[in-house]
């Protein structure tokens, strides 16, 4: 596709965005990446808010490949949404590129949109150099579900006495399971590794702010998980360990807080939730992220529309129990302190200060590259398809190449699109 044709396509795309409400004087165009079942929960929240007959109604647009589309409209300067949900790990790069508006005016309009009314880890994930760029919706992260019947079958209910299952406890079941049963699956394996990095006191950046992947802590984490696999206690490589847990063949499933919805739909599955396994019960973390409300930089957003955005966010602060239905850890203190919230399984992660402190959100600016590297290489290393030392070297090189390319920069994303079109 020529650059002229591409420009025409961009203009058409911007026109279509405007046509669906982006520049409607009394409509807040709200983009989210909620392509799963949680999109329906957000639709319901928006519907209920609009039924209050606000001056500025909200139009919720679920946008697949949202970040690429964001870069496209930011590059064109047209069709920029009034409000968006972005992930915590995107904030540093967006701020570096001047792509986010501070929430200062929004917070001034609605004074209850303040740190003490939200989970600290969610709030601070949107703060850069003392400026608040986001208002949090939730924390969502890794969790470990357990099969109650299997724990009883193998007489290991005591593993949960301190709410932390250890590597040692998992390995104690070597040779004890019936054929076809496993202690743990490899769901969200990279998230499990990120948790272990924190458990071991490690980090993903060095003292100079450079990405640090090939580290002793990363190696120890992967080796420890590989030991579980080598002991025959992890679901086989290439098998769907998530479904195997739902089928009743796995004691522990390391998937997400939102997975409680899917697990609950399996009538035969009697399950609960606890922390991701750790080296010792006194030190444990659950890798997390956060959905954050943000305003992309735009010259077209009026003061009046910002006031409408503030009203919507304040409504959500007080009325987001529906978001708990999506299996998310709601960020609003008002909601999680409501007794009705206790009926949701994920309330476990805010039931004590120690549990809340276990939720760790990575906000390092190069985190997305490191997460991509782990997603690409970690399973091969754990399952013995790739030597760990070699894998760590390849991951380090992968991340450093991404950093040197500046793959998350607006200019480079647009250039890549042009190259792909030509």
pLDDT digit string (tens) for 106-127?
A: 999 999 999 999 999 999 999 9
Q: What is the pLDDT of residue 166?
A: 98
Instruction: Evaluate if residue 20 carries a pLDDT over 60.
Output: no
Residues 68 and 186 in one domain: no
Residues 131 and 157 in one domain: no
- The HSE-up count of residue 80 (CA atoms within 13 Å, CB side) is 19
The CATH number given to whatever domain includes residue 196 is 3.40.190.10
The chain-wide mean pLDDT, for the chain, equals 92
Which residues form the domain of 254? 141-286+364-405
Question: What are the DSSP calls for 47-71, one per residue?
Answer: HHHHTT--SSEEEEEE-TTHHHHHH
pLDDT digit string (tens) for 368-420?
A: 999 999 999 999 999 999 999 999 999 999 999 999 987 666 656 555 544 44
Is 191 inside any structural domain? yes
8 Å CB contact between 394 and 377: yes
Q: What is the pLDDT of residue 406?
A: 79
How far apart are alpha carbons 335 and 324 in whole angstroms?
9
Q: What is the pLDDT of residue 421?
A: 38
**Mean pLDDT (whole number) for 178-192:** 98
Residues 78 and 182 in one domain: no
8 Å CB contact between 365 and 92: yes
Residues 130 and 185 in one domain: no
Residues 153 and 8 in one domain: no
Sheet containing strand 144-147, strands side by side:
182-184, 250-253, 144-147, 271-274
How far apart are alpha carbons 357 and 195 in whole angstroms?
13
8 Å CB contact between 320 and 333: no
Instruction: Evaluate if residue 275 carries a pLDDT over 50.
Output: yes
Residues 321 and 175 in one domain: no
Question: What are the DSSP calls for 66-92, one per residue?
Answer: HHHHHHHHHHHTSS--SEEEEEGGGHH
How far apart are alpha carbons 370 and 363 in whole angstroms?
12
Is 187 inside any structural domain? yes
Q: What is the pLDDT of residue 413?
A: 53
Cβ contacts of 390 within 8 Å, gap of 6 or more: none
pLDDT digit string (tens) for 263-273?
A: 999 999 999 99
pLDDT digit string (tens) for 340-352?
A: 999 999 999 999 9
Residue found by looking up tokens 């579980």 in the block: 228
Instruction: Evaluate if residue 22 carries a pLDDT over 90.
Output: no
- Residues shown for the chain: 422
Residues 45 and 107 in one domain: yes
Q: What is the pLDDT of residue 403?
A: 94
Q: What is the pLDDT of residue 330?
A: 98
Residues 265 and 338 in one domain: no
pLDDT digit string (tens) for 150-167?
A: 999 999 999 999 999 999
Number of domains in the chain: 2
Buried/exposed code over 304-321 (b: 16+ C-beta within 10 A; e: otherwise) = ebbbbbbbbbbbbbebbb
Q: Among residues of the chain, what percentage have pLDDT more than 90?
A: 88
**pTM: predicted TM-score of the whole model, two decimal places:** 0.90
Residues 31 and 58 in one domain: yes
pLDDT digit string (tens) for 49-89?
A: 999 999 999 999 998 899 999 999 999 999 999 999 999 99
Residues 273 and 294 in one domain: no
Helix (H) or strand (E) holding 294: strand 291-296
pLDDT digit string (tens) for 280-333?
A: 999 999 999 999 999 999 999 999 999 999 999 999 999 999 999 999 999 999
| 161, burial (CB in 10 Å: exposed 0-12, middle 13-18, buried 19+) | exposed
């Amino acid at each position: 596709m020529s650059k002229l044709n591409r420009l025409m396509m961009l203009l058409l795309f911007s026109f279509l965005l405007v046509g669906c409400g982006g520049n409607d004087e009394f409509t807040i165009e709200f983009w989210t990446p909620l392509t799963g079942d949680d999109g329906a929960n957000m639709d319901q929240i928006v519907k209920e808010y609009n039924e209050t007959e606000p001056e500025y109604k909200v139009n919720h647009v679920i946008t697949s490949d949202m970040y690429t589309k964001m870069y496209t409209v930011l590059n064109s300067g047209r069709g920029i949404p009034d409000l968006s949900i972005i992930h915590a790990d995107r904030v540093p790069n967006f701020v570096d590129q001047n792509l986010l508006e501070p929430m200062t005016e929004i917070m001034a309009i609605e004074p209850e949109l303040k740190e003490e009314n939200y989970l600290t880890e969610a709030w601070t994930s949107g703060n850069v150099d003392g400026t608040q760029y986001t208002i949090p919706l939730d924390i969502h992260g890794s969790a470990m579900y357990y099969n109650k019947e299997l724990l009883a079958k193998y007489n290991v209910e005591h593993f949960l006495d301190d709410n932390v299952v250890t590597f040692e406890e998992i390995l104690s079941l070597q040779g004890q399971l019936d054929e076809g049963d496993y202690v743990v699956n490899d769901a969200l394996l990279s998230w499990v590794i990120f948790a272990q990095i924190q458990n071991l006191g490690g980090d993903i950046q060095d003292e100079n702010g450079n990405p640090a992947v090939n580290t002793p802590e990363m190696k120890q984490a992967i080796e420890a998980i590989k030991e579980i696999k080598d002991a025959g206690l992890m679901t086989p490589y290439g098998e769907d360990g998530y479904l195997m847990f739902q089928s009743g063949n796995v004691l522990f499933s390391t998937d997400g807080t939102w997975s409680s919805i899917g697990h609950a739909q399996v009538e035969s599955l009697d399950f609960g939730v606890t922390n991701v396994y750790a080296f010792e019960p006194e030190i444990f973390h659950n890798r997390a992220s956060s959905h954050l409300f943000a305003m992309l930089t735009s010259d077209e957003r009026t003061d009046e529309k910002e006031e409408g955005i503030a009203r919507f966010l304040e409504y959500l602060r007080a009325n987001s129990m529906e978001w708990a239905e999506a299996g998310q850890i709601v960020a609003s203190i008002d909601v999680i302190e409501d007794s009705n919230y206790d009926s949701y399984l994920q309330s476990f992660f805010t039931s004590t200060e120690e549990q809340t402190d276990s939720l760790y959100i990575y906000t390092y600016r190069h985190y997305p590259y490191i997460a991509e590297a782990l997603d690409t290489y970690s399973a091969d290393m754990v399952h013995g398809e790739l030597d760990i030392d070699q894998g760590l070297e390849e991951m380090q090189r992968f991340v450093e190449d991404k950093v040197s390319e500046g793959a998350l920069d607006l200019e480079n994303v647009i250039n890549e699109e042009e190259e792909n079109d030509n």
